[in-house]
Amino acid sequence: MINRYDNLIIEFFCRIIAAPVFIFGVYIIFHGEASPGGGFQGGVILGAGFIMLAIAHGMDFTLQRIREKMILFLSCIGVFIYGGIGAACILWRGNFLDYGKLPLPLESVSVIRGIGIMGIEIGVGLTVMGVMISIYYDLINPGGIQPELSGEEE
């Protein structure tokens, strides 16, 4: 019999430690230029924060916070941010993904390239976070169980 207080310590501790984990993930994405990190690493940490909440509390708790359709929608937004920044460079007479031609009011071309790097790391981080949560949700979904061997799917 599952007691109500069996998971109490794990639930309480995961709820406390989830907020620093998300802040740490966002920190790693934004400081990818100056310290070890970047888009992929920060996206995996953000996804792992949601998976930790799902393991401790159950998947319904996490689905109340972020619906399953919105998870893949976040991934699409990430790819569009990346392609959008690349295509915006074409509008100002540069090549695709040539960040030096964007008309930002900063000191020199190299600082504009630095801001371009930060922008695409945000896109990559969003995509990786969405795909991590989506694959976890698909793998633990119980789904339908076929009673006989010759039955078809669904």
Nearer to other proteins, 49 or 86 (CB): 86
Residues 84-123 that bind other proteins (CB under 8 A): 86, 96-97, 99, 110-111, 113-114, 116-117, 120-121, 123
Give the C-alpha separation, 102 to 36, whole Å. 26
**Among residues 12, 33, 61, 90, which is the contact residue for other proteins, using CB under 8 A?**
33
Distance of CA 129 to the CA centre of its chain: 2
Give the CA dihedral 61, 26, 37, 74, nearest 10 degrees: 60
Residues that bind other proteins (CB under 8 A): 32-40, 72, 75-76, 78-79, 82-83, 86, 96-97, 99, 110-111, 113-114, 116-117, 120-121, 123-124, 127-128, 130-131, 134-135, 138-139, 141, 143-146, 149, 153-154
